[in-house]
Amino acid sequence: MICLHSGNVYSNADSLWSVYNNRAEPDSVRLKAMDELSWPLVFSVPDSAISLCNFSIGEFAPKGASKGLGQILRNKAVAFIMKGEYNSALDAYQQSEQNCLGAGDLDGLASTYNGYGIVFSRIGQHARSIEYYYKALSCFERLSDKQGMSIAYNNIGLIHTKRQEYDKALALYDKVLAIQKELGNQKGINTALANMAEVYLKTEQFDKSIEIYEQALEGAQRMNDEFMVATVRNNMGGAYADKGDYDKALYHFFYSLPIRNRAQDVQGQIDTYNSIAQVYVKQKDFKKALEFARRSYDLSATVGSPEGIKNSAFTLFNVFEGQRNADSALKYYREFVTIKDSLYNSENTAKLVEEEMRYGFDQREREMMLEQQRRDIVHEESNKRQRLQKIYMGIGLALCMLILLVVWRGLQARKRANRIISEQKELVEEKNKEILDSIRYAQHIQEAILPAKEFMDGFLPEYFIYYLPKDIVSGDFYWAEQFGDLSLFAAVDCTGHGVPGAFVSIVANNNLNRCVKEFGLREPAAILDKLNLLVNETLRQRRDVSSVKDGMDIALCSIRRLPDGSVELQYAGANNSMFLFAAKGSLPEKHLAIEDPESSFAVFEIKPDRQPVGNFLEHYSEPFTKHKLKLQKGESLYILTDGFADQFGGPNGKKYKQSQFKKLIFQNGHLSMQEQRDVLHTAFHTWKGDMEQIDDVCVIGVRV
C-alpha cells in the first residue's frame, strides 16, 4: 500500500508537540506539526496515531474545512486500515472527501480517492476499488503530479494482479518504475520492483522473481524501511516455497512476521500466517499447518477481509484433505469457491473493463481539449503577426502587397473556419433541442408523482412547500399519504441531481408507496428500515454497471391529531434533521438549538441517523431510530434536504449552513406558513446572488 504524504519537516517529537501547542502559530503550521507527529505512528502504533488525530480533529473540525485538517483525517484512515477496521477507515475517508470539497483541495481529494480504493480492495470490492483508483488518477493528471499518477498506476496494477491479468499489471508497473526512476524515489522503485516480482512469481518464473525481490530488498534495507523489508521478505518466502525450498521459505516468513506484528499490520499478518501454513501443508506437517491457517482465517473473519478468508479457507481445505477429514475439507472448499466466485464474477469483470474504457474516453477528451487550446494559441499568434504587418505597410509597395496577400489568405482560412463552426453550431443546437425536449417530458413524468396541492390541503391545514430543482428535473422530491387521521409526509434527497437524480427519485417514490400500501407500514422508522431493503433490492442488479450511487437522504414524519387539539408527531431521518418551532421547555434540553430570554418560543433540532437509505455498504446499516413527540397548537415543524443549507453565496462566497437556517426559523416562525415560504425564497436568492445554484432544494413546513 502506497499513500501520498509530504516529507518530514520536523525531526523531533518534542519540538513538534511544542509547535502544535503554541496557539500563536497559524493553524496551518500547527496542523502540519500534528501531521508529522502522527504519521510515523500510523505504521508502528496505529492506536496512538488515531488518538492524536482525534485530538486535532476535535479542535479544528469546528473551524471549517482546510487542507491540513484533510491530511489529519487521512492519517487516521490509514491507521484504521493498518488495524483492519475498514468501516472506520471508510468513515474517515468520507470526512476527508467532504473536507477536501469544502477547502477546494484537489491534491487531498486525489489522496482520498486513492484511500477509498485501498479499503475497497481490502474488502474484496475490486470493481469499486478500481473506480476510485481511476478517479484518483484523473485528479493527479489534472495536477500534473507524476508521483500521484505513479501511485494510481501501481494500485490499479495490484487489482489486475489479484485478478490474474498479469500483462495489464506488468504494463502498469513498468510505468511506475519509469516514473520513480525519473523522480529518483528509491522507496517508489522498491515498491515497483516488489510488485513486478510478484507477477513473475504468479507466472512461475521463480528465479526471475527472486532476482527482482533481492533488488527490492537491498533498496529497502538501505533505507531502513522495515515495512517494505517485511513485505519483500514475505513475498520472497512465497517464491522459495513455490520452488520447493521450504527451509528458505520459512526463514523469510518468520523474519517478516514479527515486523508485521509490531506494526499491527493486520493484512500483512493474515498473508504471512497463511503462507507459513501452506509450507507446512507441503511438508505434510498438518498440525502446524492447521495452527497457522486458523490464525489467518480467524483474523480475516474478524476484520472482514474476503480475500484473506478465501485464501485461508483453501489452505484449511488442503489441511483437512491431508488429514483425511472429508467433512471439514468439503466445508472449507465450498467456502473458498463461494468467495472466489463473488470476487471474480463476470459482473465485476465487466465493471473493471467499463472503468478502464471510461478512463480512456476521459483521457481522449483531455487530449482533444489540449489540441483545441493549441489551435487557439496558433490563431492568436496569427492575429499578432497581422497587426505587426500593418505597422510596416509603409515600408514599400512590394512589402505591402506581400502583407495583403498574407492577410487575404488568413481571411479565407477564417471564412472556411467560420463556415465549419456555423454548421457545427447548428448541429449542436438541434441536438440540444432534442435533449431538452426529452428532459422536459421527463419533467412532466416526475411532476406526476408529486402529491397534488388539493390532496395535501385536505389533511395539512396550514403548511408550505418550497421546491426548487437545480435543473429541469430533480433528485429531490416530496411525498405524502393519508390513512384516516394519520398523515405521512417526507422530504427526500436522492443521490445526484438532474436526470440521474430524477431516475433514483422515481425508484424511491415507488418504494415509499409500497412500504405504506403493500406492506401496511405506518411508523416512520419502520418505513425507512423497509425502504432501505427495497431500494437495495431494486438497484442491486445494476449497481456494478452504473455510475449512480444507490443512496438517498430522507426526513419522514407522521402526525395524528388528538382530541385536545395537540398532535402526536413521529419522525425518523436518514442524514436529514427535523426542526421544531415550539414553546420553551416543551422538549428535552438536548434537542434545544436556539432560544432567547425575551421569547417564549425556541427552535429545537431532532437529529437523524447518520446513514443513508439504500447505502451500498448494506451490511453496515443499523435500524433507524424512532422519535415520538407531542406538539401543541401553534407550534411548527420543518424538514428539508441539504440544498438550501449547502448553497454558496453571501459576501464571501461561503455555504449558507444549517445554523443560519435555524436562525431564519426562529426569527420568522410566528408568521403564517405562506409568509414563511416567501421569507425562505427571498433569503435563498439573496444569499445565492449571481452564483450558480449547486443542488436541488426542498423545504416543508407544517403548523399544528
Checking if the pLDDT of 695 tops 70, the result is yes
Average pLDDT over residues 194-220: 87
Alpha-carbon dihedral of residues 636, 639, 644, 645, nearest 10 degrees? 90
Summary mean pLDDT of the chain: 84
* Helical spans, DSSP H, in 144-265: 146-162, 166-183, 186-202, 206-222, 226-243, 246-262
Comparing 509 with 342, the larger pLDDT belongs to 509
Q: What is the pLDDT of residue 496?
A: 66
Nearest to 509 by CA among 450, 578, 596, 436: 450
Asked whether this chain's domains 185-253 and 265-348 adopt the same fold, the reply is: yes
pLDDT score of 5 more than 80 = no
For 204, phi then psi, to 5°, come to: 65, 25
Check pLDDT > 60 for residue 352: no
Map out the domains of the chain as residue ranges: 185-253, 265-348, 380-449, 450-703
The mean pLDDT of 574-598, rounded to a whole number, is 93
Please give the pLDDT value at position 266.
84
pLDDT at residue 295, as a whole number? 93
Would you state the cell numbers that stand for residue 704, as one nine-digit string?
A: 399544528
Residue 543 has pLDDT above 50, yes or no: no
What is the rounded end-to-end Cα distance, in angstroms, of the chain? 57
**Residue 619 CB partners (closer than 8 Å, separation 6+):** none
Dist CA 663 CA 461 (whole Å): 25
Is residue 599 scored above 80 in pLDDT? yes
Neighbours of 187 (CB within 10 A): 15
Model confidence at 622: pLDDT above 50: yes
Selected residue with higher pLDDT from 498 and 417: 417
Is the pLDDT at 413 greater than 90? The verdict is no
Domain 450-703, what architecture? 4-Layer Sandwich (3.60)
The pLDDT of residue 373 is 46
- Stretch 635-654: mean pLDDT: 93
Average pLDDT of span 632-649: 94
pLDDT tens per residue, range 602-616: 999 999 999 999 865
Q: Which helix (H) or strand (E) holds 333?
A: helix 326-343
pLDDT for the residue 357: 43
User: Which residue from 560, 582, 581 is spatially nearest to 571, judged by alpha carbons?
Assistant: 560
Q: How confident is the model at residue 576 (pLDDT cuts 50, 70, 90)?
A: very high
Tell me the pLDDT band of 392, cut-offs 50, 70 and 90: low
Per the DSSP assignment, residues forming a β-bridge with 609 are: 574
Dihedral, CA of residue 474, residue 475, residue 480 and residue 481, to nearest 10 = 110
Q: Can you give the pLDDT at residue 367?
A: 45
Q: Which fold has domain 265-348?
A: 1.25.40
| pLDDT number for residue 514 | 94
pLDDT at 422: 76
Question: Once rounded to an integer, what is the mean pLDDT over residues 199-222?
Answer: 87
* pLDDT number for residue 549: 53
Predicted pLDDT at 594: 93
Pairwise CA distance, residues 648 & 142, whole Å: 24
Q: What is the pLDDT of residues 236-294, one digit of tens each?
A: 888 888 888 999 889 988 988 888 888 778 888 998 999 999 999 999 999 999 999 99
Q: What is the mean pLDDT of residues 134-148?
A: 91
Reported as a pLDDT band with limits 50, 70 and 90, residue 377 is very low
165 against 440, higher pLDDT: 165
Residue 574 pairs in a beta bridge with 554, 609
Instruction: State yes or no: pLDDT of 526 exceeds 80.
Output: yes
- Compute the average pLDDT of residues 195-224: 87
Task: Evaluate the CA torsion angle 530, 535, 537, 540 in order and state its sign.
Answer: negative
CATH superfamily of 185-253: Tetratricopeptide repeat domain (1.25.40.10)
**Residue 417: which pLDDT band, with cuts at 50, 70 and 90?**
confident
Contact 492, 505 (CB under 8 A): yes
Average pLDDT over residues 103-129: 90
For the cut 70, the answer to whether the pLDDT of residue 662 exceeds it is yes
CB-facing half-sphere around the CA of 350: CA atoms within 13 A: 8
